[in-house]
């Protein structure tokens, strides 16, 4: 009896070790496969650029800084009305609002892609009401009986997609790149609208000053004409007695 029990124990241990080794092998395979990814990593294409341009003399190479915050650059003009117009543009311009909505959508896609790496849990609950009834009737007597039954049900589901071939990671990389491009588009759209407003406003101010200058010039010419007319009339009044005396 002891030998048979020990043999059964050995068989159980071997089976347990076999199951453990299979589970470990499966886990290692999943880890190795998850390190794989579909397609190569993105590499920026190499472009043959000349060392110098013939027009380079006297010019300085530009250093784009799209990621830097430009701040309220229009405040350098010190015009309160311009500041108010820019504030209204930032909050009410439809082109800027459209670009901002596209950027929020891109960020939502990034969050959704990151959430795909984790399990998702679905929980649903419901209630069903059913009734059963029997009845009989005759010319002298009628009777009926009925019953109402409430049934409650709850369902819990868990799902998880293993990123075996790197599809989720590629989707995340693509959505992150799209979000960065959308942010650059938003910054460019906002700066374009602000600069266009500032240029139009300053041009309007220049036209106002030209109008004021022209009005002042017309007033000066009017005063000069008045003075000339007065001098002419005074000369007539002076020469008239002299002619009579002669």
Express each pLDDT in 152-192 by its tens digit: 888 888 887 777 777 888 888 899 999 999 998 998 899 99
How many angstroms separate the CA atoms of 246 and 241, rounded?
9
Confidence at 139, pLDDT banded by 50, 70, 90? very low
Indicate whether 220 pLDDT > 90. yes
CA–chain centroid gap for 103, Å, is 1
Tens-digit pLDDT profile for residues 33-66: 555 556 667 777 888 877 777 766 777 777 776 6
Residue, of 108 and 127, whose pLDDT is higher? 108
Give 112's Cβ-side CA count (13 Å radius).
10
Buried b (16+ CB within 10 A) or exposed e, 189-211: bbeebbeebbeebeeeeeeeeee
Residue, of 209 and 42, whose pLDDT is higher? 209
Report the range of poorest mean pLDDT among 25-34, 60-69, 133-142, 181-190.
133-142
In 3D space, the residue among 80, 100, 103 whose CA is nearest the CA of residue 92 turns out to be: 100
Confidence at 103, pLDDT banded by 50, 70, 90? very high
The percentage of residues in the chain with a pLDDT greater than 90, rounded to a whole number, is 33
Is this structure's pTM higher than 0.75?
Answer: no
């Amino acid at each position: 009896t002891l030998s048979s029990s020990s043999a059964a124990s050995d068989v159980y241990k071997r089976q347990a070790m076999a199951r453990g080794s299979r589970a470990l092998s499966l886990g290692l395979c999943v880890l190795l496969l998850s390190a794989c990814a579909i397609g190569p990593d993105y590499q920026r294409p190499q472009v043959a650029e000349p060392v110098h341009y013939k027009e380079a003399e006297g010019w300085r190479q530009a250093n784009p800084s799209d990621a830097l915050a430009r701040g309220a650059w229009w405040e350098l003009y010190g015009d309160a009305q311009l500041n108010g117009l820019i504030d209204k543009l930032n909050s009410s311009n439809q082109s800027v609002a459209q670009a901002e909505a596209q950027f929020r959508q891109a960020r939502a896609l990034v969050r959704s892609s990151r959430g795909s790496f984790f399990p998702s849990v679905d929980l649903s609950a419901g209630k069903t009401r059913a009734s059963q009834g029997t009845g009989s009737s005759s010319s002298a007597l009628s009777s009926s009986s009925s019953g109402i039954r409430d049934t409650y049900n709850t369902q819990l589901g868990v799902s998880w997609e293993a990123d075996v071939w790197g599809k989720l990671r590629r989707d995340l990389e693509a959505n992150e790149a799209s979000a960065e491009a959308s942010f650059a588009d938003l910054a460019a759209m906002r700066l374009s609208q602000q600069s266009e407003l500032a240029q139009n406003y300053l041009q309007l101010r220049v036209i106002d000053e030209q109008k004021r200058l022209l009005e002042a010039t017309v007033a000066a010419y009017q005063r000069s004409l008045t003075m000339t007319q007065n001098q002419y009339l005074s000369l007539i009044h002076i020469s008239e007695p002299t002619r009579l005396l002669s």
